[in-house]
Structure 1
Amino acid sequence: MAKQKKKGQAGQAKNYITRTQAVRKLQISLPDFRRLCIFKGIYPREPRNIKKANKSATHSTTFYYTKDIQYLLHEPLLAKFREQKALQKKIAKSLGRNELQDAVRLERNGMPKIKLDHLVRERYPTFIDALRDLDDALSLLFLFANLPSTETVPPNVIARCHRLCHEFEHYLITTNSLRKSFLSIKGIYYQATIQGQDIMWLVPYRFVQRVTQDVDYRIMGTFVEFYCTLLGFVNYKLYSSIGLVYPPRFDTASDERGAELAAFTLEGRNVADNAIENGHATKQLTNGHAQDQNSADVQATIDKIAQAGDNEASEQVQEEPTEDVGNDGDVDKFEVAAPEGDELPQPQASSNEAAALFSNLTFFISREAPRHPVEFLLRAFGCKRIGWDRVLGEGAFTFDEADPKITHQVVDKPVPAVTNAEQSTAKPGYIVAGRIYVQPQWIWDCANEAKLLRTDVYAPGATLPPHLSPWMRPVKGQYDPRATLEEQQLEGEEDELSEEEAQELLENAEPDVSDDEEDVIDAAEGMTVEMADGSDEVEEEEDNVDDTFGGFDAEPDAESANEEDDHQVELAAEAAGKSLSRKTSQKSSKDKRKQERLTKQKKEDEEVERQKMMMSNKKRKLYEKMQHGNKIKDAEAEKLRSKRRKIEQKQKR
């Protein structure tokens, strides 16, 4: 006889474990269990059969994989958590005895420090794995870098996130890895390409943040603690890959005065070693004056290392087999082979093109413009000379708004013109002759298009063009705000007005038919009446028409009747020696085009119905669902086009 299996010891009852059982098995508190699961990347699971997994219990609970909890039994952090718990008991005893000095001493010196280095190596075996999981880390760290300090969010955490984010931005600026950016309601989206991996993160706007009580900042703080360790590892690897010292030198006093990116000093490994040996300190590499601020010896060392690197690169190129290729700097563009074919995704701009986009321009950021996003985007795309007002902080190329070297000024409000008397002094906030003024959106659109756009469209006070997401491709049939109505509207869509539009036109429009045209139409009606009453030939023709079979379709009769009426109007106009106006001819041509479209659409619908009859039931239902979704999208696009058509008509009036 086979051995009988006991209930609750196999299957889902054995594969899953409740959270209460897991906490008891690990012998830690619930907050420590949550922290440990976040650090290790273990999440709750939902079994297929909750009743079997819960051993016929009906209460709701959270389940985990049993193997995951067994994996946590060997975690070194469990010993740290137990040491912290024992220390908290000692501190509580000291406070109970009124020994405040002993409690403070134990809290300062006895608290065990938790290191998460081994967890980063466990969860990310390769560096590419860490880059792929960097999206959420960057979004959360940039969020905490902009939060105000509270009891739940201490200032040291905010300062650490702020510093790590700026270090990552310096790497993007140095390597020109930033590719796209988008201004949305939630914040500013950025996308960078690092070692072939596309990384996208969200940075909130620098508004006054209100910390609400409905958010559990303890859990978010646990994620921040792990992500800070992860980003520190990633920054070290990225800086080392391009030959820079990590961490870069950080000037705390300059950062307190609002320098932000300019508070960091980047230096190469060999350059730093030689400078230390020779007793020279490397100056700060920032904002256009880096080469001028270095000493002669340090600058000679930099040139020597750069020349050696160029020679090594040229030798490697010579060793490789040569191939017949075109210009490496040019990016291939995939064109659509067929007029109705899908549009292929175009390749992104290279780092060389990104580095040369704003390299020849000098910018000045006005007070009302957001300084840090504009500065970061300009420097990431090659700009070396950026100035701003002194009240915005240190690190500017120039604080003088009247500097003649400035070619472009970023403003976010209309700028008054300078009079002839004030032109020599050039007051701040006034237009300077020979300088281009643009709104901040121009920088984002130029970066997304990888080319310099027209500046007159982005002039101060002008209505800006639509700022669309660079990750959305235009789909045929959908509304595209960048294209004109003639390019995207369907055939005959402009002629077919809705009831509301037609009512508005009838109320506001003047009569289209002139007095001469009314006389011609009346004459034509009189001619038809006389011919119908006094001509025997017409009666004979009508008898012959009645005897013949006209078919089942009444539409050709209506069409022929309209043609006869138009012909009678033309004959009357010729008899009266007058010509019909352009409006009447356009009206008749519109009716003819509409009739042709209806006939063509009817034939296409009949052909589709015949093809649907040949389909199976499953395919026919799937096709109908697809058509239903397409009709909804077409209706939305048509609604947007009609709104735009109304706006353009009002502007023309």
Structure 2
Amino acid sequence: MAGRSQKKGTSGAVRNYITRTRAVKKLQISLPDFRRLCIFKGIYPREPRNKKKVSKGSTAATTFYYTKDIQYLLHEPLLAKFREHKAVAKKIGRALGRGESGDAARLEKTLMPTIRLDHIIKERYPTFVDALRDLDDALSMLFLFAHLPSSQHMPAKTIALCQRLTREFEHYVITSHALRKSFLSIKGIYYQATVQGQDILWLVPYRFVQRTGGDIDFRIMGTFVEFYTTLLGFVNYRLYTSLGLVYPPKFNAQSDAQGGELAAFQLQAKANATDGETNGHREHPPINPDAQAIADRVGAMPDVDVDGDGDGDGEKDATAVAAIPAEDDQDEPTDEIDKFEPTAPDADVLPQPQASSAEVASLFAPFTMYLSRETPRASLEFILKAFGCKRVGWDGILGDGAFTTNESDPAITHQIIDRPALSNRAPAQDVAETESGDAAAPTVQWPYSTMPGRTYVQPQWVWDCINQSKLLPPHLYAPGAELPPHLSPWVKPSKGEYDPNLPLEAQQPDGEAEAFEDDGDEEDAAFHADRGEDMHAIVDREGSVEVGEGMHVADDDEDEEDEDVDDSDDANAVPAAEEFDGFDSDAESDVSEGEAARRQHQRELEAEATGKKLEIAKPTKKEQNAAIRKKFDKKRREEEEERERQKMMLSNKKRKLLKRIEYGENKRDTESEQLRRKRARLEKARAAAEAV
């Protein structure tokens, strides 16, 4: 019995997808409300695998959604809120049409529904870890809107909310020392923090004047901001609670109006917080009962006589020593971190252990920093405080909350400046006398003098120190110095790639340095040759006499002199065979090694027969480089031949896969070689400039 035939377009991919027009009609809401609801619920358009089949043969541009997603939206409580909002908006519109502005304001204040997204946050993020994993885009968006100016599309209330939430999150990062890396890029400043085991990366734009264009749909972006502010509010509450802090923290509006930013918030611990809890965990682990019993037994015994001249009993001393576990007999721990060195030149480079989180958190703790007016105060204050610096000062015009606003404060150990090189003159300081006749503290006359005992560095020093988890030499970042390359901490160079941190000699393969040197000499020779030809052309043009078609006509006396010179040259000419002199002959460079060895042996026999000493000319630097390159080229050819023989043993499928791998490797090697060649030219030019 044949099965029942189905109607076309009622099953399969056609039924799995639904167009946006049909979805809006099915939900009975407007298109803006549909977009807003999809953003809140995390539902996005889908691209069918066979778009022509889904659209029933139509080729028009159509947006599709999953049918199950739209069915899921039918039970959303926000639909009722949207419909109430639409009904109240109609009433307000009729009131304004009748000129009853008071009734319209009353309707908006009393009947306009309030939309809350708490239940959506709980649906989309069942666990707190899920919310942390989705925090990257939220922080980047909120930091962006926190730096935007208020406008008709973006009210000041929303911008103030973004600023408050982002600064609360920064305070948590500072308190928990969760910041790990940061990078200065063209787009802005990247930050990475580790919060409860999750790496969170966000972007903060530079504080330039933002000009918003008319091609930006702020309604869509405002919907995302509304959702992200709710999400970050939940996350901040959970994070502050895990540290035992009161949320929200106290906010000082007066300090914020004076530019205090982070200083406008005051963190407070909860009164009923459990002592010793940090980040949701107890600060000290539970004590092992066996270890505690041993410690009590040892503590009850008399002190051990180390020098041997005390009154302690020897038996008790031996018992006490025996009671100590054998683990204590190990070597004393040191502060240095062990390093894993490779056992062979071609061995894999093992990842080196990093400094502990406690050491990194207190990287700038011993210092007192002062930020000059031209430095980015907000980002530097955040980074320095996140890495343990409690004393950060700046000029009073930068805002409130500085540790000190006096640049001449003797407690300042480091000053971060971004100005040209300092003057080399002796420190000229103004010493003012007080009313009692005593001399006051010296004041700095920037840029004509510096404070003695203070370290002056550029802002990049802070970023490079935290990325490498150690304090770098400050003289490399002195004012006016050529800064080291600022590299991304998330990009680690692999084997064979160019690494700006390593010296050039350590990255060049065998024979490449000699090739670079010869190429540089050839380029210089070509440059000087071209320049010489140009000079000769200029001289000939200046000394020529235009006759007829520009041909140079010489006098008879000049012709005779030229002929005499030519005759004398021919008389003194040396035959080509006698012109050969040892290794300097260009003809010998083209012959084979066997022929060169035979000729060398012939010269030795002739010298021995005549009793003359054979003088062998030393090979030039160029010849030595050519010999070294020839040696390594031969080795490379042998390796390539062996590799080709191994390829012949592979199947066709694996051979194609290997070909694609080799294509990527060759492309990487070519880029690395170009960068090394460029660096070699720069180093050569720098060395020549220093020699002059």
Superposed displacement of residue 559, structure 1: 1.7
| Residue identity opposite 2:492 in structure 1 | R
Q: Aligned partners of 2:111, 2:155: CA distance in 1, in Å?
A: 21
**Structure 1 residues 83 and 506, CA, compared in 2 at 3 Å: closer, same or farther?**
same
| Residue identity opposite 2:677 in structure 1 | S
State the secondary structure of the residue aligned to 2:479.
coil
Superposed displacement of residue 488, structure 1: 0.4
- 1:172-183 superposed matches below 5 A: 172-183=173-184
1:427 pairs with one of 440, 444, 448: 444
Q: Is the 8 A contact 1:139 1:201 kept in 2?
A: yes
Which residue in 2 is equivalent to 1:316? 286
Q: Is the 8 A contact 1:149 1:155 kept in 2?
A: yes
Q: Is the 8 A contact 2:371 2:416 kept in 1?
A: yes
Q: Aligned partners of 2:106, 2:290: CA distance in 1, in Å?
A: 65
Are positions 1:595 and 2:634 aligned together? no
Q: Aligned partners of 2:687, 2:424: CA distance in 1, in Å?
A: 29
**Structure 1 residues 421 and 628, CA, compared in 2 at 3 Å: closer, same or farther?**
closer
**Structure 1 residues 308 and 559, CA, compared in 2 at 3 Å: closer, same or farther?**
closer
Which residue in 1 is equivalent to 2:418? 412
Q: Give per-residue Cα distances to partners, 1:474-504, cap 9 Å, x unaligned.
A: 2121111111110101111121149973433
Are positions 1:439 and 2:449 aligned together? no
State the secondary structure of the residue aligned to 2:513.
coil
Q: Aligned partners of 1:503, 1:529: CA distance in 2, in Å?
A: 23
Superposed displacement of residue 38, structure 1: 0.4
Q: Give per-residue Cα distances to partners, 1:112-156, cap 9 Å, x unaligned.
A: 111001100000000011111111111111111111111111111
Which residue in 2 is equivalent to 1:106? 107
Superposed displacement of residue 314, structure 1: 4.6
Which residue in 1 is equivalent to 2:227? 226
- 1:539-578 superposed matches below 5 A: 558-563=592-597, 575=612
Of 45-54 and 28-37, the range deviating more from structure 2: 45-54
Q: Give per-residue Cα distances to partners, 1:287-324, cap 9 Å, x unaligned.
A: xxxxxxxxxxxxxxxxx956999x97557133598996
Which residue in 2 is equivalent to 1:12? 13
**Structure 1 residues 86 and 562, CA, compared in 2 at 3 Å: closer, same or farther?**
farther
Superposed displacement of residue 605, structure 1: 1.8
Q: Give per-residue Cα distances to partners, 1:425-473, cap 9 Å, x unaligned.
A: 3235341111000000000010011110000000000000001011111
Which residue in 1 is equivalent to 2:369? 363
Are positions 1:253 and 2:260 aligned together? no
**Structure 1 residues 423 and 220, CA, compared in 2 at 3 Å: closer, same or farther?**
same
2:406 pairs with one of 400, 404, 409: 400
Gaps of 5+ in 2: 293-324, 432-441, 530-573, 583-587
Which residue in 2 is equivalent to 1:474? 493
**Structure 1 residues 608 and 111, CA, compared in 2 at 3 Å: closer, same or farther?**
same
| Residue identity opposite 2:391 in structure 1 | R
| Residue identity opposite 2:393 in structure 1 | G
Q: Is the 8 A contact 1:523 1:572 kept in 2?
A: no
Of 500-509 and 81-90, the range deviating more from structure 2: 500-509
Superposed displacement of residue 523, structure 1: 12
2:471 pairs with one of 446, 449, 452: 452
Q: Is the 8 A contact 2:363 2:388 kept in 1?
A: yes
Q: Is the 8 A contact 1:485 1:641 kept in 2?
A: yes
Which residue in 2 is equivalent to 1:619? 654
**Structure 1 residues 502 and 589, CA, compared in 2 at 3 Å: closer, same or farther?**
closer
- 1:56-205 superposed matches below 5 A: 56-205=57-206
Q: Is the 8 A contact 2:429 2:445 kept in 1?
A: no
Which residue in 2 is equivalent to 1:379? 385
Of 8-17 and 88-97, the range deviating more from structure 2: 8-17
| Residue identity opposite 2:286 in structure 1 | Q
Q: Aligned partners of 1:523, 1:436: CA distance in 2, in Å?
A: 72
**Structure 1 residues 421 and 506, CA, compared in 2 at 3 Å: closer, same or farther?**
closer
**Structure 1 residues 566 and 453, CA, compared in 2 at 3 Å: closer, same or farther?**
farther
Q: Give per-residue Cα distances to partners, 1:564-615, cap 9 Å, x unaligned.
A: 567789998995787746xx34343323222212221221122112111111
Q: Aligned partners of 1:565, 1:148: CA distance in 2, in Å?
A: 85
State the secondary structure of the residue aligned to 1:193.
strand
Q: Aligned partners of 1:85, 1:465: CA distance in 2, in Å?
A: 60
**Structure 1 residues 577 and 328, CA, compared in 2 at 3 Å: closer, same or farther?**
closer
Q: Is the 8 A contact 1:528 1:568 kept in 2?
A: no
Superposed displacement of residue 34, structure 1: 0.4
State the secondary structure of the residue aligned to 1:494.
helix
**TM-score normalised by structure 1 residue count:** 0.83
Q: Aligned partners of 2:271, 2:168: CA distance in 1, in Å?
A: 20
**Structure 1 residues 127 and 567, CA, compared in 2 at 3 Å: closer, same or farther?**
farther
Q: Give per-residue Cα distances to partners, 1:258-298, cap 9 Å, x unaligned.
A: 00111000010017x9xxxxxxxxxxxxxxxxxxxxxxxxx
Superposed displacement of residue 93, structure 1: 0.3
Q: Is the 8 A contact 1:354 1:381 kept in 2?
A: yes
Q: Is the 8 A contact 2:427 2:451 kept in 1?
A: no
Of 469-478 and 26-35, the range deviating more from structure 2: 469-478
Superposed displacement of residue 420, structure 1: 4.9
Q: Is the 8 A contact 2:377 2:398 kept in 1?
A: yes
Q: Aligned partners of 1:315, 1:480: CA distance in 2, in Å?
A: 43
Superposed displacement of residue 3, structure 1: 2.4
Q: Is the 8 A contact 1:524 1:572 kept in 2?
A: no
Q: Give per-residue Cα distances to partners, 1:386-414, cap 9 Å, x unaligned.
A: 00000000101000000000000000012
Aligned sequence identity (%): 55
Of 379-388 and 639-648, the range deviating more from structure 2: 639-648
Q: Aligned partners of 2:256, 2:96: CA distance in 1, in Å?
A: 39
Superposed displacement of residue 642, structure 1: 1.0
| Residue identity opposite 1:66 in structure 2 | T
State the secondary structure of the residue aligned to 1:386.
strand
Q: Aligned partners of 1:529, 1:52: CA distance in 2, in Å?
A: 83
Which residue in 1 is equivalent to 2:665? 630
Which residue in 2 is equivalent to 1:292? none
Aligned alpha-carbon RMSD (Å): 3.3
| Residue identity opposite 2:502 in structure 1 | A
Q: Aligned partners of 2:149, 2:290: CA distance in 1, in Å?
A: 55
State the secondary structure of the residue aligned to 1:442.
helix
Q: Is the 8 A contact 1:418 1:432 kept in 2?
A: no
Q: Is the 8 A contact 1:87 1:106 kept in 2?
A: yes
**Structure 1 residues 477 and 321, CA, compared in 2 at 3 Å: closer, same or farther?**
farther
State the secondary structure of the residue aligned to 1:495.
helix
Q: Aligned partners of 1:410, 1:572: CA distance in 2, in Å?
A: 73
Which residue in 2 is equivalent to 1:26? 27
- 1:280-291 superposed matches below 5 A: none
Q: Is the 8 A contact 1:180 1:470 kept in 2?
A: yes
Q: Give per-residue Cα distances to partners, 1:68-103, cap 9 Å, x unaligned.
A: 111111111011101110111011101111112212
Q: Aligned partners of 2:115, 2:522: CA distance in 1, in Å?
A: 74
Q: Aligned partners of 1:69, 1:124: CA distance in 2, in Å?
A: 20
Of 329-338 and 422-431, the range deviating more from structure 2: 329-338
Are positions 1:39 and 2:40 aligned together? yes
Superposed displacement of residue 355, structure 1: 1.9
Q: Is the 8 A contact 1:418 1:426 kept in 2?
A: no
State the secondary structure of the residue aligned to 1:640.
helix
**Structure 1 residues 563 and 259, CA, compared in 2 at 3 Å: closer, same or farther?**
farther
| Residue identity opposite 2:652 in structure 1 | N
Of 97-106 and 396-405, the range deviating more from structure 2: 97-106
Q: Is the 8 A contact 2:36 2:220 kept in 1?
A: yes
**Structure 1 residues 315 and 89, CA, compared in 2 at 3 Å: closer, same or farther?**
closer
Q: Is the 8 A contact 1:423 1:432 kept in 2?
A: no
Superposed displacement of residue 4, structure 1: 2.2
